[in-house]
Amino acid sequence: MNIAVFASGRGTNFSAVARAVKSGKIKANLALLVCDQPAAAVLGRARRAGVKIALVERLGSSSKEEFENEIIRNLEENKIDLIVLAGFMRILSPSLVRRYQNRIVNIHPSILPSFKGAQAIKDAFEYGVKFTGITVHFVDEETDHGAIILQSTVKIEESDTLESLEAKIHKLEHRLYPEAINLCLSGKLKVKGRQVKIST
C-alpha cells in the first residue's frame, strides 16, 4: 500500500513516519510528500529519505479547487491509499475529504474534543489543565473532529514550561502516529459514524 504525507513545516512527524516505514513498523510504501511551502524544512527531510515530492503552492493556483485538483492528480498518479496529515497548514475542502473518506488521518496535539485549533498545546498549558495529550483521528468535513483512532495523555507537571510540554507532546506523537497509521493500513479498523472499532 502507498501512503502520502502532507506537511507544511519542519517535518518531524514526516521523519517519524519515514523511520517507521524503513524499519518495517509501518507496512507500506512512503510514496509521496505533498508540501505547499517551498521553504519548508520537510522538503530537505524528504530528499534525504529518498521520498518523491509534490510541491503544490497555493499562491500558484487561481483557486482552492485548482490547488486541490493538482494535489489529487499527484495522489492518483502515485496510487495513494492513505493520506497522512503531519502539520499541513491548509483546511481540506469537503469535496476532497469525501473523495478520500476514511483514508485521511490527522494528528492533533490535545485530547479532542478539548483544545481544537492551531495553538492546542499553548491553549492547554495556559488553561492550567493537569493532563493533555494527542489524538489521531480520521478527517471529516469539520476541523479537528473526525472519528478517533488513538489517544494518549501527557501529565503537565508544575515544573513544565510551554517548551518542555511541547517536547513531551512531540515525543509522544512520533511514537503513536506510526502505530495509528499501521492500524489504518491493517484492515482492522471499522468506522461507523464517529466510532472506530478495532477488530482482533
85-116 pLDDT, tens digit each? 999 988 999 999 999 999 999 999 999 999 99
200 vs 187: CA distance, rounded Å = 10
Tens-digit pLDDT profile for residues 129-160: 999 999 999 999 988 889 999 999 999 999 99
Give me the CATH number covering residue 34: 3.40.50.170
Please give the average per-residue pLDDT across 28-41, as a whole number.
Answer: 96
Q: What SS3 state is found at 172?
A: helix
Whether 5 and 86 map to the same domain: the answer is yes
For residue 189, pLDDT beyond 90: no
Whether 78 and 113 map to the same domain: the answer is no
Partners of 78 in beta bridges: none
6 vs 38: CA distance, rounded Å = 13
Whether 158 and 116 map to the same domain: the answer is yes
Whether 120 and 94 map to the same domain: the answer is no
* Residue among 197, 200, 177 nearest 25 (CA): 177
Whether 3 and 95 map to the same domain: the answer is yes
Range of the domain at 28: 1-100
The pLDDT assigned to 60 comes to 67
Structural domains of the chain, count: 2
Beta strands 148-155 and 53-55 are unpaired
| Lowest model confidence (mean pLDDT) among 29-38, 64-73, 103-112, 186-195 | 186-195
End residue of a domain, out of 65, 100, 135: 100
Find the distance separating the first CA and the last CA of the chain, reported in whole Å. 21
Whether 5 and 79 map to the same domain: the answer is yes
CA neighbours within 13 Å on the CB side: how many for 6?
Answer: 24
Sign of the dihedral through C-alpha 121, 122, 127, 129: positive
Tens-digit pLDDT profile for residues 38-63: 999 999 999 999 999 999 988 767 78
Whether 195 and 113 map to the same domain: the answer is yes
Whether 23 and 75 map to the same domain: the answer is yes
Whether 11 and 56 map to the same domain: the answer is yes
Whether 110 and 37 map to the same domain: the answer is no
Whether 92 and 110 map to the same domain: the answer is no
Tens-digit pLDDT profile for residues 66-85: 999 999 999 999 999 999 99
The pLDDT assigned to 59 comes to 76
Mean per-residue pLDDT over the chain, rounded: 93
The confidence band for 31, taking pLDDT boundaries of 50, 70 and 90, is very high
End residue of a domain, out of 77, 100, 123: 100
Respond yes or no: is residue 108 known to be catalytic: yes
End residue of a domain, out of 100, 115, 142: 100
Whether 54 and 32 map to the same domain: the answer is yes
